[in-house]
Amino acid sequence: MAKKKSTTTKTVAVPNDYVPGDDEKFMNDRMREYFRRKLLAWREEITAQTRGTVEYLQGERVNHPDPTDVATYNADRQLELRTKDRLRKLVRKIDSAMARIEDGTYGYCEETGDPISPRRLDARPIATLSLEAQEMHERGERLRAG
DSSP assignment string, the chain:
---------------TT----TTS-TT-HHHHHHHHHHHHHHHHHHHHHHHHHHHHHHH------SHHHHHHHHHHHHHHHHHHHHHHHHHHHHHHHHHHHHHT-TTB-TTT-PBPPHHHHHH-TT--S-HHHHHHHHHHHHHHH-
Q: Where are the domains of the chain?
A: 29-145
Q: What is the pTM of this model?
A: 0.78
| Per-residue model confidence (pLDDT) at position 59 | 64
| Per-residue model confidence (pLDDT) at position 1 | 47
| Per-residue model confidence (pLDDT) at position 64 | 67
| Per-residue model confidence (pLDDT) at position 10 | 63
pLDDT tens, position by position, for the chain (146 residues)?
444 444 445 678 899 899 999 999 999 999 999 999 999 999 999 998 888 766 666 666 667 677 887 788 778 888 888 888 999 999 999 999 999 999 999 999 999 999 999 999 999 999 999 999 999 999 988 888 87
The domain 29-145 having CATH identifier 1.20.1530.20: the answer here is no
| Per-residue model confidence (pLDDT) at position 54 | 67
| Per-residue model confidence (pLDDT) at position 7 | 47
